[in-house]
Chain A
Amino acid sequence: KNQVEQSPQSLIILEGKNCTLQCNYTVSPFSNLRWYKQDTGRGPVSLTIMTFSENTKSNGRYTATLDADTKQSSLHITASQLSDSASYICVVPGGSQGNLIFGKGTKLSVKP
């Protein structure tokens, strides 16, 4: 069964600290993996798209890694800011066209 699992479910860190979020997927065939940021009550916003040939990709303070062999990805946030408080969702395209499989997300809270 195609699945995307994320950990931890929630995370609280202090402003300025770094953190790493994890994503494991069992989707096959694999084409790409996406990380989205979703503020409470808002639509998701794309952070990165990674294909199977890419190991790492950065977008400002966000760095995503991908290990297609172990089917794992991580999202590293550097020097966290209060505005980073949001849910971070890992997404992998499923088998049928248009079917994106979303993880349940990691809810990050950055405290002053």
Chain B
Amino acid sequence: QKEVEQDPGPLSVPEGAIVSLNCTYSNSAFQYFMWYRQYSRKGPELLMYTYSSGNKEDGRFTAQVDKSSKYISLFIRDSQPSDSATYLCAMSIPNFNKFYFGSGTKLNVKP
């Protein structure tokens, strides 16, 4: 079983839709949770970073962590064509300095 599971998609939505991207994990020691956005031929860009459980909002993006279910989500409101990219979840254990990545979900927002 992989440490982090992520549906590869692709996920295709119309402009303005609410997008939900998800990852599940198996290691209950994970405490830090990250979402990265990667455009084609570019490096992953850190979008959101949360510690432990709860929600965090930044503009149109909301990150949600449910540690009891070992499930994290990224919601994108009012999605735009410029949001079309691959979204990677990642997580880490405090002070272990090792990061576990999902395989990425490819999102396509159609105008």
Asked if chains A and B come from one complex, the reply is no
* Interface, chain B (partner A; CB < 8 A): none
